[in-house]
Structure formats: C-alpha cells, structure tokens
Structure 1
C-alpha cells in the first residue's frame, strides 16, 4: 500500500477507538481505557488478547459492563487485555512501588489522544495520561505506523510532574492469547540473552514458577504451560518473540545502561491459565483465560521534578506460515 495510512476515530470515553490501518496491519487503540492498544490484526488474524467477558469481537463493551477508573486489590482489576504501559517496580509495601493494577490513572484512566500524519504518510497516535498523584508520573505512548509496514514503533515517556524527586522504570506489558499455541509445539516466548548468567530469575509464583528451556545458544524459551507465575531475564540482549497460532510478534529494544527492577530484569514473561479459586497471596487474582504477557522494561531512573525517562520498542508481526 502506498500513500497515507488511514486514521479513523469513533466513540468517546471508554468507548473511544482510534484505528490506524495501512492495508496490511490494522491497529486499534482505546485512549479511554488506559491508552491501550486493544487489537493488532494482520492477514485477518488477531495477535493480542482481549477479555471476552468485557469486550466483544468488535472491541465494544458487552451489555451491562461498566469500565471506569478503578483501584483496589487485584481482584477488582478489569483486565480488558491489549498492550499498555505501567511504572516499575510493582509492589504494595512502600510509595516507591506501583500498587497496581488496578490503578485509576495510569492503567484504567482516560488518556488524551492526538492522531495525525507524519513523514511519508505515516500515521502517528500520541496518548497521554493524566498526572498520577501516587507515582508523580505522566505517561505518554506514541505510536507510529508507516505505509505498508507489518509493524510499528512505540515510544514511551514517563515524566515526573510532582514537586519531589521520584525513581521509576518504564514497563510495557503486551498481553497475548495463551490458548492459541501452534499445533507443532513451537509456541511460546523466545528471549535472546547474552553474557554471564544467571539468565533467569523467578519473580512470582502464583501456583508455580514458569519453566524455561534452552532453545539454542543465546536463546531461551518459555514454552506454553499451565502455570500462573512470572520469570525475569536479567541478561536479555534486546529482543523477545511470541509464537502463537496467529503468527509471530517480535519486540526489539535497546538495552540502556543502569540498574533494572525486579532483580535486574530487562524482560519479563508472565503466564496464567484458568483457576477455580482466587490466589489470595496475589490480591485475590483469579485468572479465567490462558494469557501470555511479554514485558519490556527500562532502567530505574532518578527523576527530578520535570525530568523524564524514555523507552522505544519496535513491534514486528508475521502471520503463521510466513
């Protein structure tokens, strides 16, 4: 496709949808739902997870569903799915940890959206959060989709809008359908690593720790498995790849110098599957679907008032069979 990428907007509040479509890739964002990307469709196939109890196949709220800014324990979280940005580290023990999700500003609050065109007909969507009093941050997510491309660039900014110094890292979370594993057994998350180990660290054991295997020299794999938990990759060299039934989604980023959250994790992978009972030690979280989270983090940064930290991620998609 040549020419400009098509940009359409409809709805308002939690129902607002902004669509960027270049004829190959169709990206749908929801500024009113925490600035999420709700859908990535390539060759007619959906790559992202969405909560089927909250949104229908057309990304509309189901009848009777109320989506509004929410806070409280994880049992109160309306996880609509998609790709979103949070601050790290996560935790509930002191103000230097992000006590979400849920979160009424950065996760479930409304983001202001500006959509237009940049150089060579590329579509540019910028979504900006409100100023969060708990973290002192304002988050910005800038998406650029070029004509004919099968991927896009996501540029993240966290600015300290408070009057006091803060220390945070950017943390981007992409949720994918964990039930859609390829029939040949190659599904899962692949992470490139380099240097001295340990290459993995156990971070969260919901009911167990995820299993990680060596796929090839310098490449680790988190295969599809029934487990609720998270593993971190302190030696990740700047790429990770999810292989599912729809195809392959690869994220690449530059590893910046500095100290990373969660025992030095530059990449994290979270897995969940349906449970019959809530996990009380995780705030009453009760997974109901098979979900894979591919997470990219930036380094912890000391932010003076008005200062900012940035993280850029390139997303590339390939349909199954390519």
Structure 2
C-alpha cells in the first residue's frame, strides 16, 4: 500500500492511494474522491474537465459539479427547511475544501461543521491489500444544534456506461422492483430474474430508487461493483430507498450510483455511518448482460 502526494488536474496537495491492483485519487481541495481505476485502465469516475484546478465557490450562482464521489445529507426534500434553499446542496457538504489525515494505509477527509445541520462528516478511504477493492466509510457527527433526523447519502458520478445494473431482492419491497423518482423512467429499463438494467438517456434526466444492496456500472473495459447492505426493519429516505440510480442528459454524460443509510435522529455527540465497498473488474465488450449476471452472482 502506498500513499503519494500529487498535483491532480491542477489541484495541488492531492493524493493517490494505491496497492498492487488499483489506485484511488483523493482531492481535499474539493472534498471528493475523484478517481478509482486500474493503473493502466480507463477512468471510471466522471470528471468535469472544465473545472480542473478550480476551487469551490459557495457564492457562485451556478452549481459547480466537479464529479467524483461525495456525500450529502438526505433526504434532499429537507434542504429547503434546513438551509432556506432547495438547491444547490448545503455548502459544507459540497462547496468547501476539507482537511485531510494521512495514515499508513488510509486517508480520511474531515469537513467543517455545517452551520445548518450542525454536522461534521468524515470519509475514511482504504484499499484492500492486493485486491481491486476500495472501502469508504462516511460518518456524520452531530456537533451542535437541535436534534435532526438525517441519512448519510453517498453519490458516485461515473462516466457514460454501456449499461447500469442493480441486484434486486426477490421479493422486492417495491411491487415493480423499483421506486420511480422522476417524471419518466430511465431508458431501456427492465428487470429480468432479479437484475434491473438501464442505460443513459441523452435528452432527459431520470432517477429511480430501489432496495438493492448491490449496484453495477459497466464501461467499455471496466466494471465497478458497489455494495452497501440494506438493513432490515428500519426506515430509509425517499420512500424507503437505500440505493438510487440517476442518469444525466447531454452534454454532461454521466450517471450516479447512490447509497443511503437508514434515517436516524442525531443528538449532539452522536454519530452515524455508511460503508460502501467498490470493486473494479475487467470486462470485455461481449455479452454485457451475461458478464453482469456473473459479477452479481445472479
């Protein structure tokens, strides 16, 4: 395991965390994990090249979507109540630099205390020795203010996929196997023998929620499997969704694979967390669905 400080796309004091298999790029200046890849492979996480080297500006009238992997507080429907605006996301979670702690085999990002939620977040990033696996544990710590019901929400933006999949429980808590969260359903959405699949619509954004514990992004040469087990007998945000898939429209060709923790009312001094495991897998262009079934063990 090695940790090396680098200048990444114009952001100084960035880091590459690597083992014998994969590498993760972490950029504290924008509070994100910006890349997860094989050293000689394609980038999997989406990045907005027009924002390379720029720093967040919370006073900007336009939301700066840097890409990569980040955390927000859920549910989004509560943002207006908490911050007086429904968009963009709360500044501390999206538009300020974060501190970084570097240890022998892990990197932890540490935010300021959000003035609205009274929460500080931590993101502990590690790689499994000699395996193409990254684990990210996101922790919310209530530091001040009134108690607040909240969920840890992680958002991973990935490049244009060949297809996106979810391993739907059988039976699902949702009659159709998913929870519709946009006016229209995503392109080519189908469920077959416990596997949901869809593609990105170039013209419209779409979003669904689900009770899947495993999501899968498949690119031209690489797949990213993401796991965060659902907990029974608890309540999740967004009509009880613990995972969500969002597809963006052109010209920003990306999709989001998202996980949420159960809702919890945090008192000062309390913490809650969510762990997501990311696994990189090399693929071929032949029979994507067959490869997805093998990866998802369905």
TM-score range, shorter chain: 0.7 to 0.9
Q: Tell me the equivalent position of 1:110.
A: 97
| Partner Cα separation in structure 1 for residue 89 and residue 12 of structure 2 | 19
User: Structure 2 residue aligned with 1:80, among 45, 57, 66?
Assistant: 66
Distance 2:49 2:268 in 1: 41
Q: Which residue of 1 aligns with 2:240?
A: 264
Q: How far off its partner does 1:234 sit?
A: 3.5
Distance 1:157 1:21 in 2: 23
2:151 aligns to what? 169
Determine the structure 2 residue equivalent to 1:228.
204
Instruction: Name 2:272's counterpart in structure 1.
Output: 309
Q: Please, which of 209, 227, 251 is the counterpart of residue 252 of structure 1?
A: 227
Unaligned runs of 5+ in 2: 285-290, 292-298
Alpha-carbon shift at residue 133 of structure 1 (Å): 0.7
Q: How many residues align?
A: 278
| Whole-angstrom distance in 1 between the partners of 2:214 and 2:185 | 22
Alpha-carbon distance, 1:10 to partner = 3.9
Q: CA contact under 8 A between 1:209 and 1:228: conserved in structure 2?
A: no
Change (3 A) 1:203 1:15: farther
Deviation of the 1:232 alpha carbon: 2.8
Aligned ranges 1:43-192 → 2 under 5 Å:
43-55=40-52, 61=53, 66-71=54-59, 76-91=62-77, 92-95=79-82, 99-117=86-104, 123-178=105-160, 181=161, 187-192=162-167
User: What is the CA distance between 1:99 and its match in structure 2?
Assistant: 4.1
TM-score, normalised relative to structure 1:
0.79
Partner-residue secondary structure (3-state), 2:182:
strand
**Aligned partners of 2:188 and 2:198 also within 8 Å:** yes
User: TM-score w.r.t. structure 2 length?
Assistant: 0.85
Q: Distance in 1 between matches of 2:124 and 2:24?
A: 13
Shift of 1:16: 2.5
Bigger helix share: 2
Q: Which residue of 2 aligns with 1:27?
A: 24
Match of 2:174 among 197, 206, 223: 197
